[in-house]
Structure 1
Amino acid sequence: MTSPIDPVQLTADLLRCPSVTPVEGGALVLLEALLTGAGFTCTRVDRGEVCNLFARWGGKTNGRTFGFNGHTDVVPVGDEAAWTQGPFSGVIIDGWLWGRGATDMKSGVAAFAAAAIDFVRDTPPDGSIVLAITGDEEGDAVDGTVALLDWMQANGEVMHACLVGEPTCPNEMGEMMKIGRRGSMTAYFTVKGVQGHAAYPHRANNPLPPMVRLMDRLASHTLDQGTDHFDASTLAVVTVDTGNTATNVIPSESRATVNIRFNDAHTSADLTAWLRDEADKVAAQFGVEIAMQTTVSGESFITPPGPLSDLVATAVQAECGVMPELSTSGGTSDARFVKDHCPVVEFGLVGKTMHQVDERVEVAQIIQLKQIYTRILRDYFA
């Protein structure tokens, strides 16, 4: 009889792969070998400098398909000398597993892979299971999950529901799952004036007053009061720069950046139009030129509470004794791409140490996460 897959050991093995975006580091090679050996059909879907892995158990037309999305790439370790344990050591000390990616999110990938392998071995379902694992979630995310979804569409691959294994619990295991995410966009402003001597301001056109006025108008504006499933949208001024080191010179140019996290009351297009209108008003008032560029990381989305969220919440409550809060808080995740393919929710372990020096996870949580994922699969195919 085949022994169950140990999700803790698998997480430790993945942690020893130095897979800082976009380096694959051996993590996907390890998963591909493991899943192939368990009867999954695996395909590398690499694009650009990014490595991705698609794995399927069961045929394309074999009933329903439950999907999992996750990533094996990690953020840089920072000051390696500041780590108590090596960032790629994967060591267990006093019930904690240490390493970059321990919470975000190699443990989630390991827990689902272990659950899926044991599930199809023990009780082959009337349906299919897909794992779509990327190496580009922590980077630009252009050639990661997007590439996987593009490949799936081109090859007739379908998921009917998807679970993203990001860490979702703030403090206690099981307390929160994500049913949507806020949108995220960044706007870059450049005010062009006329340089001059600070003693003769009438001969110059100082870009700083219009820039400060614009930033105040944007930061003081209330975007909304929140919606049914989202908190109020926020706008943060994250930098204002001139690069001017002289005290007797009025600069010719000033730059500023704002970041907006927005709910489902807005689209990035609507917000871009509002930003442009505000900039034009200030430009006309001060007689300057204001250039603007925007980048959009993702639109706001919501998977309405229903069968998929009920499935995950019921499994979490059964294993943790806690009914998870349905939340849309936090930053962005690759669920923002998956939502265009199929209904998607997110559930994972406690994320307190993610991206920190000394990132680590409680071993017990990894075991519990595998149990939750196993129950989700069992109930989905019941």
Structure 2
Amino acid sequence: MDTPARPPLNFDPLDPVALTQALIRCPSVTPHEGGALALLDHVLSAHGYVVERPVFSAPGTADVENLYARIGTQAPLFVIAGHTDVVPVGDTAAWTRDPFGGALEEGMVHGRGACDMKGGLSAMVAAVLRFRRENPDAPGSIAFLVTGDEEGPAVNGTVKLLDWAHGRGERFDHCLLGEPTNPATMSDMIKIGRRGSLTGRLTVNGKQGHVGYPHLADNPIRGMVRLLAALDATPLDAGTQHFDPSNLEVTTLDVGNPATNVVPAQAKAVFNIRFNDVWTPETLAAEIERRLREAAGNAVRYEISFEPTNAVAFLTQPGPFVAMVADAVEVETGQRPALSTTGGTSDARFIKSYCPVVEYGPVGKTMHQVNESVAVADLLALERITHRLLTAYFAVQHET
């Protein structure tokens, strides 16, 4: 049965601003596709891409639709990665514009996902389409790896999409991920790695009793203070060449005790560690357990557990590919970007197992905020930078 013809698009997909607006108008709050992947499918299919949209599932999580599109059959295979899902808008009344309206006003595109990361993805799509139009016989292949599960649990998204593609024989050579990496200007930084993330849950057990009879009770708060002080007393490390020192932050401390005359039975704390490439989740957990064990001795009764994590520290070593990205940014902006590993986690932590990956995207000042927006100038700059990168990348392949 023939696939019914799609109506023509009412905008030019080679215009990154128009494409950003169109994607923002798709309410793709995780895990809902919201029409965003269908829109990309329409755009890429019309330009010769073979597009597939696998759906992945896991117990206890929502099904998530993803997109993989490729043009070309030969190596090298350059991958553009990103996500179309967005975080919830929160209180809609707090927005000065429709969060899914994609309004263009005073040089800014407004709406949820404008900078994280529908704007970045749109600029890269536009750049690839322009590059292929200008270079139809360019050597190698280009693919898009797009998930709808980056802002969610990241279970049915990129990690499974990569495994799915690899199982079909796809072999990636390099990847550019369009997350909003720049703090203030498009010349600030590219990400060549990310810190890992490990969350621990600590419980100190005491004995409930009357505050007037402390000899009959055992206050767990004293033990908790002792253990947390031990975790914070000595830095985990001094950092490495490309990473800041690992840091531990206590995020929750609770005894669940509404009474002022009762010694509580338990004290609970949650902490998160953003760690560098000195550690793995396993070695870091062992170090935390060692510190707790030494601090507790026989005086504090406690329990420690760690949440499963797929956020490990990684580094894309500076080399020809990193330099090529930095060169493209410098030529278009006039300033060479810093090589950074700061910030939270991203899907680059999955991609790094398949090929070298660099992150570069719009200014991220308003990501996840009310009135999220992206500058038109940033979108146009990212389109030019991506186009320049592709030109240099495939020129090298042609020479070799």
Alignment of 1:113-128 (within 5 A): 113-124=125-136, 125-128=138-141
Q: In the aligned structure 2, how far is the partner of 1:223 from the partner of 1:3? A: 51
In the alignment, which residue of structure 2 is the partner of 1:289? 302
Q: In the aligned structure 2, how far is the partner of 1:297 from the partner of 1:79? A: 31
Equivalent position to 2:55, from 37, 46, 52: 46
Shift of 1:320: 1.1
Q: In the aligned structure 2, how far is the partner of 1:306 from the partner of 1:319? A: 20
In the alignment, which residue of structure 2 is the partner of 1:71? 83
Q: Tell me the percent identity.
A: 52
Question: Greater CA deviation, 320-329 or 277-286?
Answer: 277-286
SS at match of 1:75: coil
In the alignment, which residue of structure 2 is the partner of 1:239? 252
Q: In the aligned structure 1, how far is the partner of 2:37 from the partner of 2:69? A: 11
Shift of 1:228: 0.7
In the alignment, which residue of structure 2 is the partner of 1:97? 109
1:185–1:297 CA contact under 8 A, matched in 2: no
In the alignment, which residue of structure 2 is the partner of 1:10? 19
Alignment of 1:316-331 (within 5 A): 316-331=329-344
Unaligned runs of 5+ in 2: 1-10, 58-62, 396-400
Deviations 1:284-324 (A, max 9, x none): 33242323233324111111110111111111111111111
In the alignment, which residue of structure 1 is the partner of 2:93? 81
In the alignment, which residue of structure 1 is the partner of 2:275? 262
1:44–1:53 CA contact under 8 A, matched in 2: yes
Equivalent position amino acid for 1:20 in 2: V
Q: In the aligned structure 1, how far is the partner of 2:79 from the partner of 2:157? A: 16
Alignment partner of 1:37 is 2:46: yes
In the alignment, which residue of structure 1 is the partner of 2:398? none
Equivalent position amino acid for 2:134 in 1: D
Deviations 1:206-231 (A, max 9, x none): 21111111111112221111111111
Shift of 1:255: 0.9
Alignment partner of 1:187 is 2:200: yes
2:197–2:312 CA contact under 8 A, matched in 1: yes
Shift of 1:87: 0.8
Deviations 1:167-212 (A, max 9, x none): 1111111221011111111111112222222222222222111111
2:231–2:292 CA contact under 8 A, matched in 1: no
CA RMSD of aligned residues (A): 1.4
In the alignment, which residue of structure 2 is the partner of 1:310? 323
In the alignment, which residue of structure 1 is the partner of 2:223? 210
1:311–1:376 CA contact under 8 A, matched in 2: yes
Deviations 1:105-142 (A, max 9, x none): 00111111111122222212211001000111111111
Equivalent position amino acid for 2:270 in 1: T
Q: In the aligned structure 1, how far is the partner of 2:373 from the partner of 2:209? A: 54
Q: In the aligned structure 2, how far is the partner of 1:279 from the partner of 1:20? A: 40
Relative to structure 1, the CA distance from residue 355 to residue 287 in structure 2 (aligned partners, 3 Å threshold; closer, same or farther) is: closer
Equivalences, count: 379
SS at match of 1:105: helix
Q: In the aligned structure 1, how far is the partner of 2:128 from the partner of 2:273? A: 38
Equivalent position amino acid for 1:56 in 2: R
In the alignment, which residue of structure 1 is the partner of 2:345? 332
Q: In the aligned structure 1, how far is the partner of 2:21 from the partner of 2:226? A: 52
1:177–1:325 CA contact under 8 A, matched in 2: yes
In the alignment, which residue of structure 1 is the partner of 2:173? 160
Shift of 1:52: 0.7
Alignment partner of 1:110 is 2:122: yes
In the alignment, which residue of structure 1 is the partner of 2:286? 273
Q: In the aligned structure 1, how far is the partner of 2:260 from the partner of 2:148? A: 47
In the alignment, which residue of structure 2 is the partner of 1:354? 367
Question: Greater CA deviation, 171-180 or 274-283?
Answer: 274-283
1:182–1:299 CA contact under 8 A, matched in 2: yes
2:30–2:86 CA contact under 8 A, matched in 1: yes
Equivalent position amino acid for 2:54 in 1: V
Equivalent position amino acid for 2:72 in 1: G
Equivalent position to 1:132, from 138, 145, 148: 145
Unaligned runs of 5+ in 1: none
1:272–1:294 CA contact under 8 A, matched in 2: no
Equivalent position amino acid for 1:27 in 2: A
Alignment partner of 1:26 is 2:35: yes
In the alignment, which residue of structure 2 is the partner of 1:251? 264
Q: In the aligned structure 1, how far is the partner of 2:306 from the partner of 2:239? A: 26
Instruction: State TM-score, norm by structure 2.
Output: 0.92
